[in-house]
């Protein structure tokens, strides 16, 4: 087990040890945000015939090549109505957007470019030959793959699934996730206030971070720093696909999480990452494939580690290709002191300046100062080698608001 991996090495190690969940069928509306587990083939042509893209007149181009041209209106075709009359020479059919183009016609003239007078219509402006017609199969061609495996289901993708009548959609399943907070000092949300205790924030921070990814985790509560109790609760958590254990992974006298995981037969792949905050991070896997994260107890550290390591792992398990938070380049509004050796994730707010972003620290950056996280819009990533940055320097900022992810880490 190597000590002090870089953030990138730790991410790669984790991603190499988690696997994609099996497919499951979900109702169309529940598929939003999920990832297709197979290709989707069109079961029809759309549009099923040439349709008009405009309200206007279906004509033979040869009749209107020279304008003005006067034609006799022989039909009135609405969307959803099959035309019965062929458009012969010198004739036109009034047609609405989405209505089938009648036989004989090859062009649609916009109503704005015409003037109807009784049964006649004068075409004032001639469009190009074939204009304003959406050809059969322009949107979807029967039998063709229209969405491929691995596609993330956005509202636009969901609309295509509806068009091909996928009332049930095959997507990658979500992993089951258990969250366990550890520490003798912790007080649960439902317990009465004891002035000498520390309220358990991490269970709920991690819950919310999972929820934002579309996963409903199970809260296993609080385990005391006691190897027997810890063993029972960690063993319970190992029944899930992913176990997030918070606290007790450092070098303190009562930090029993790692030895207990060892005793439970977990293969620990690494412990400690060269980052700030969050360096006491442990990662392991069980024989049956459960992934275990030993997250640092400091609330900010735990949340930063979730974003850097847990979120990419969970997204990868759900079949996503975009695993990492979207980044932007921003200029610092102030100097930033730093020590070389660890990659630093500075919590920042962002503002606009012309066509760029300005990043400003959210204040005291202690790993226990949860407010620095609560108001953050992003993490400014300061390279491990950096000995500090000056106002005006450019930094990469990971965007924390919303659910915008990209393929590359960019850090
Ligand atoms: P640990 O990682 O267990 O050494 O804890 C580091 C710091 O984080 C200590 O000050 C703990 O009291 C605090 N801490 C640990 N777990 C939690 C939690 N679930 N909620 C809030 N603070 C915590
Ligand atoms: Mg502790």
CATH of the domain at 228: 3.40.980.10
- Predicted TM-score (pTM) of the model is 0.93
Q: What is the mean pLDDT of residues 91-109?
A: 98
- pLDDT of 251 reads 86
> Do 195 and 297 reside in the same domain of the chain?
yes
Q: Give the mutation target among 247, 271, 293, 369 for probing the ligand 1 site: most ligand atoms within 8 A of CB.
A: 247
- pLDDT of 367 reads 85
Ligand nearest to the CA of 224: 2
Q: Of 283, 302, 317, which marks where a domain is finished?
A: 317
**Dist. CA 334–CA 343, nearest whole Å:** 19
> Do 41 and 159 reside in the same domain of the chain?
yes
282 C-alpha to ligand 1 centroid (Å): 15
Atom 5 (ligand 1) nearest CA: 297
Ligand 1 site, residue 298, Cβ cutoff 6 A? yes
Q: Of 250, 285, 317, which marks where a domain is finished?
A: 317
Q: Of 264, 282, 317, which marks where a domain is finished?
A: 317
- pLDDT of 380 reads 98
**Dist. CA 85–CA 76, nearest whole Å:** 10
- pLDDT of 3 reads 55
Coil, strand or helix at 398? strand
> Do 92 and 122 reside in the same domain of the chain?
yes
- pLDDT of 366 reads 86
CATH of the domain at 156: 3.90.105.10
- pLDDT of 1 reads 47
Coil, strand or helix at 348? strand
Question: Considering the domain boundaries, does residue 1 fall inside one?
Answer: no
Ligand nearest to the CA of 199: 1
Q: What is the maximum span of the chain, computed from C-alpha positions, in angstroms?
A: 96
User: Does the pLDDT at position 397 exceed 50?
Assistant: yes
Q: What is the pLDDT of residues 32-52, one digit of tens each?
A: 999 999 999 999 999 999 999
Angle subtended at Cα 30 by Cα 29 and Cα 34, rounded to the nearest 5 degrees: 115
CATH of the domain at 76: 2.170.190.11
> Do 194 and 127 reside in the same domain of the chain?
no
> Do 261 and 164 reside in the same domain of the chain?
no
Look up the domain containing 40 and give its range. 24-46+139-172
> Do 333 and 304 reside in the same domain of the chain?
no
User: Does the pLDDT at position 131 exceed 80?
Assistant: yes
Q: What is the mean pLDDT of residues 283-287?
A: 97
Least confident of 12-16, 86-90, 169-173, 249-253: 249-253
Q: Which of 107, 98, 54 is nearest to 79 (CA)?
A: 98
Q: Which of 271, 51, 290 is nearest to 180 (CA)?
A: 290
Q: What is the mean pLDDT of residues 80-89?
A: 96
30 C-alpha to ligand 2 centroid (Å): 39
**Dist. CA 85–CA 74, nearest whole Å:** 8
User: Does the pLDDT at position 193 exceed 90?
Assistant: yes
Contact 142, 90 (CB under 8 A): no
- pLDDT of 2 reads 47
* Whole-number percent of the chain with pLDDT over 70: 99
**Dist. CA 58–CA 121, nearest whole Å:** 11
Token digits of residue 252: 């303190």
**Polymer length in residues for the chain:** 411
Question: Considering the domain boundaries, does residue 298 fall inside one?
Answer: yes
Q: What is the pLDDT of residues 2-21, one digit of tens each?
A: 458 999 999 999 999 999 99
7 C-alpha to ligand 2 centroid (Å): 23
271 C-alpha to ligand 1 centroid (Å): 17
**Dist. CA 194–CA 27, nearest whole Å:** 46
- Atom index in ligand 1 nearest the CA of residue 252 equals 4
158 backbone dihedrals φ, ψ, rounded to 5°: -60, -35
> Do 145 and 118 reside in the same domain of the chain?
no
- Atom index in ligand 1 nearest the CA of residue 222 equals 19
290 C-alpha to ligand 2 centroid (Å): 23
Taking CA atoms, 164 is separated from 23, 51, 81, 393, in Å, by 20, 19, 22, 50
Q: What is the mean pLDDT of residues 224-239?
A: 97
């Amino acid at each position: 087990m190597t000590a002090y991996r870089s953030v990138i090495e730790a991410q790669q190690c984790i991603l190499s040890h988690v696997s994609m969940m099996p497919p499951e069928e979900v109702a169309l509306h529940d598929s939003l945000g999920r990832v297709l587990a197979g290709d989707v083939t069109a079961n029809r042509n759309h549009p099923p015939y040439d349709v008009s893209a405009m309200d206007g007149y279906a004509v033979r181009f040869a009749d209107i090549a020279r304008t003005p041209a006067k034609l006799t209106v022989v039909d009135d075709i609405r969307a959803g109505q099959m035309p019965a009359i062929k458009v012969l020479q010198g004739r036109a059919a009034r047609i609405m957007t989405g209505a089938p183009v009648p036989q004989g016609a090859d062009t649609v003239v916009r109503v704005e470019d015409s003037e109807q007078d009784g049964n006649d219509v004068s075409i004032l402006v001639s469009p190009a030959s074939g204009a304003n017609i959406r050809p059969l199969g322009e949107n979807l061609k029967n039998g063709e793959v229209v969405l491929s495996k691995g596609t993330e289901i956005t509202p636009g993708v969901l609309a295509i699934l509806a068009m091909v009548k996928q009332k049930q959609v095959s997507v990658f399943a979500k992993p089951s996730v258990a969250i366990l907070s550890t520490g003798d000092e912790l007080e649960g949300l439902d317990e009465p206030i004891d002035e000498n205790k520390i309220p358990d924030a991490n269970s709920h921070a991690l819950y919310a971070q999972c929820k934002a990814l579309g996963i409903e985790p199970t809260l296993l509560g609080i385990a005391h720093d006691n190897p027997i109790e810890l063993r029972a609760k960690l063993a319970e958590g190992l029944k899930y696909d992913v176990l997030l254990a918070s606290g007790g992974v450092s070098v303190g006298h009562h930090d029993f999480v790692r030895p207990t995981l060892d005793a439970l037969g977990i293969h620990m792949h690494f412990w400690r990452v060269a980052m700030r905050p969050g360096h006491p991070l442990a990662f392991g896997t069980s024989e049956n494939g459960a992934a275990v994260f030993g997250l640092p107890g400091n609330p900010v550290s735990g949340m930063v580690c979730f974003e850097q390591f847990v979120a990419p792992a969970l997204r990868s398990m759900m079949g996503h290709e975009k695993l990492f938070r979207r980044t932007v380049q921003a200029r610092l509004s102030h100097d930033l002191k730093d020590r070389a050796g660890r990659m630093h994730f500075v919590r920042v707010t962002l503002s606009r300046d012309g066509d760029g972003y300005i990043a400003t620290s959210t204040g005291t950056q202690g790993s226990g100062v949860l407010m620095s996280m609560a108001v953050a819009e992003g993490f400014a990533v300061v390279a491990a080698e950096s000995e500090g940055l000056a106002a005006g320097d450019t930094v990469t900022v990971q965007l924390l608001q919303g659910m915008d992810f990209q393929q590359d880490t960019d850090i």
